[in-house]
């Protein structure tokens, strides 16, 4: 038996999320079925993060235990062959120690949220950005984002369905910058609450439009009530960039 670490990229548009569900196809299900086609085994694939429906990944990480002996290149190529035509690719397969755990061994996760703020709708970027016609004030957004860095009670910034035992989370880094016609929000933390990044993006978008001030964001954080923060931004703008170990 050998444990494999898989680095995975996917377009989440057509999936109900990472985790296997009865409601529709998931990335986890697709990988597990590809493994079965490759070697006849039916192991569970464990991911580093459970991305929601419509959320993408550039560097999701998972682990799986396989009995079949194979080279790293064979595992990667065979899984990619059997994943077709699903929009999922195994970028790398590496043998790792038995105590490696994709979720619990992770030291940090990095997410990126993209907002396209131009009058014309997205075409090539459709499904990968949140479109707003009005230009956003990136400087104001960055100032407000700074208030959320550090360890806080993020009750206002988590889904009502969040199952985490505690709303306390530590955001290590949170930045807002302009990249051409896009506003890019980058955030890094060891772990996140359900919908936390999307609610942060929805809140900062209000600041960028001039509807909220930095004081409003501080008040929303202090209120510890979901209705006091901004809306949950659409899933398509969110991407799991990388998992750090």
- Give the CATH number, domain containing residue 236: 3.30.70.660
Q: 22 falls in which pLDDT band (50, 70, 90)?
A: confident
CA distance 20 to 202: 27
Region 85-94 average pLDDT: 98
Residues 236 and 129 in one domain: yes
pLDDT, one tens digit per residue, over 42-54 is 999 999 999 999 9
Q: 101 lies in a domain?
A: no
Catalytic choice (11, 52, 77, 216)? 52
3-class DSSP state of 117: strand
Residues 180 and 220 in one domain: yes
Domain region containing 10: 2-96
DSSP state of 197: H
Per the annotation, the verdict on 52 as an active-site residue is yes
Q: 56 lies in a domain?
A: yes
Residues 88 and 129 in one domain: no
- Which pLDDT does position 31 carry in this prediction? 97
Residues 155 and 185 in one domain: yes
User: Is the separation of the CB atoms in 99 and 63 below 8 Å?
Assistant: no
The answer to whether residue 95 scores a pLDDT higher than 90 is yes
User: Is the separation of the CB atoms in 61 and 5 below 8 Å?
Assistant: yes
Q: Which two tokens stand for residue 138?
A: 């990136």
pLDDT, one tens digit per residue, over 52-75 is 999 999 999 999 999 999 999 999
The answer to whether residue 163 scores a pLDDT higher than 90 is no
Residues 10 and 58 in one domain: yes
Strands 2-10 and 88-96: antiparallel
- The last residue of a domain, from among 72, 96, 120: 96
Give the percent of the chain with pLDDT over 90: 97
Query: Total structural domains in the chain?
Result: 2
- Which pLDDT does position 21 carry in this prediction? 87
- The last residue of a domain, from among 42, 66, 96: 96
User: Is the separation of the CB atoms in 15 and 53 below 8 Å?
Assistant: yes
Residues 159 and 51 in one domain: no
Residues 25 and 81 in one domain: yes
């Amino acid at each position: 038996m050998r444990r494999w670490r898989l680095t995975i990229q996917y377009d989440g548009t057509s999936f109900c999320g990472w985790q296997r569900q009865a409601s529709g196809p998931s990335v986890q299900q697709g990988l597990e079925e590809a493994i079965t086609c490759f070697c006849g085994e039916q192991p569970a694939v464990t991911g580093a993060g459970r991305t929601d429906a419509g959320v993408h990944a550039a560097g999701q990480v998972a682990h799986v235990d396989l009995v079949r002996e194979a080279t790293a290149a064979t595992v990667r190529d065979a899984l990619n062959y059997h994943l077709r035509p699903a929009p999922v690719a195994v970028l790398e397969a590496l043998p790792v120690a038995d105590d490696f755990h994709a979720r619990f061994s992770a030291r940090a996760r990095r997410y990126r949220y993209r907002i396209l703020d131009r009058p014309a709708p997205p075409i090539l970027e459709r499904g990968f950005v949140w479109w707003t016609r009005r230009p956003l004030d990136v400087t104001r957004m960055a100032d407000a984002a700074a208030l959320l860095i550090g360890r806080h009670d993020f009750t206002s910034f988590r889904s009502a369905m969040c199952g985490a035992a505690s709303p306390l989370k530590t955001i290590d880094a949170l930045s807002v910058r302009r990249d051409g016609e896009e506003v890019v929000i980058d955030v890094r933390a060891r772990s996140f609450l359900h919908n936390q990044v999307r609610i942060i993006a929805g809140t900062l978008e209000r600041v960028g439009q001039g509807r909220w001030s930095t004081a409003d964001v501080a008040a929303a954080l202090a209120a510890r009530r979901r209705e006091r923060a901004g809306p949950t931004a659409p899933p398509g703008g969110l991407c799991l960039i990388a998992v750090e170990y």
